[in-house]
């Protein structure tokens, strides 16, 4: 997609994990590097939003809304690019084919994965410049939950039945992901 960049959201506190999720190893490298390299392969110019990973030599964008959650990260990304392919650091099972499919879908304000049971995953999604003002308006009204914020958008749903969008929030979930 023209004028699109990939962004890894890595600013969470990782309270339930007990350590920085972005530094956990996945296929022998820190998750944050793994996710960034996957996005970079699809959309050159990928960067990390949130956290501090300068010691790993990875490109970062300063979060314009530190401590305000992933919605602030999405807004930061949309301030950097006309379209933003967002991928949370704790979702390494999202396949390259799925990320490519998100980029190829017709686009309203966003393309967001949706499971048959109705669960959505707005942290592995594509957001277009047209989403920025709408998301900013709900952010300014105090909304921080991305699931609520995207109700203001014209969303194209990416229907998926897989579990690749499951995040790893606890040590047990991390171990299960490593050894399915």
Q: What is the pLDDT of residues 91-109, one digit of tens each?
A: 999 999 999 999 999 879 9
Assign 3-state DSSP to the chain and report helix, strand, coil percentages, each to 5.
35, 20, 45
CA angle 158, 159, 165 (to 5 degrees): 80
Helix (H) or strand (E) holding 171: helix 171-178
- pLDDT higher than 80, residue 51: yes
* CA atoms of 93 and 135, how far apart (whole Å): 27
> Helical H runs in 57-170?
70-78, 96-104, 129-140, 146-149
Residues 113-150: tens digit of each pLDDT: 999 999 999 999 999 999 999 999 999 999 999 999 99
Partnered with residue 87 across adjacent β-strands are 8, 124
CB 179 within 8 A of CB 173: no
Residues 66-93: tens digit of each pLDDT: 999 999 999 999 999 999 999 999 999 9
> Is CATH 3.90.550.10 what the domain over 4-178 is classified as, yes or no?
yes
């Amino acid at each position: 997609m023209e004028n699109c960049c990939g962004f890894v959201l890595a600013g969470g506190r990782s309270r339930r994990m007990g350590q920085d999720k972005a530094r956990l190893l996945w296929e022998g490298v820190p998750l944050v590097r793994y996710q960034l390299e996957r996005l970079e392969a699809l959309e050159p110019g990928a960067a990390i939003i949130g956290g501090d990973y300068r010691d790993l030599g990875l490109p970062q964008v300063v979060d314009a809304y530190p401590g305000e959650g992933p919605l602030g990260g999405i807004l930061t990304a949309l301030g950097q690019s006309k379209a933003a392919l967002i991928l949370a650091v704790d979702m390494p099972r999202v396949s390259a084919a799925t990320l490519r499919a998100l980029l190829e879908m017709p686009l309203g304000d966003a393309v967001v994965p949706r499971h048959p049971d109705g669960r959505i995953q707005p942290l592995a999604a594509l957001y277009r410049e047209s989403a920025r003002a709408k998301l900013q308006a709900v952010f300014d009204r105090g909304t921080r939950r991305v699931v609520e914020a995207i109700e203001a958008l014209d969303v194209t749903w990416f229907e998926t039945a897989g579990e690749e969008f499951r995040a790893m929030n606890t040590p047990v979930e991390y171990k299960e992901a490593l050894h399915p």
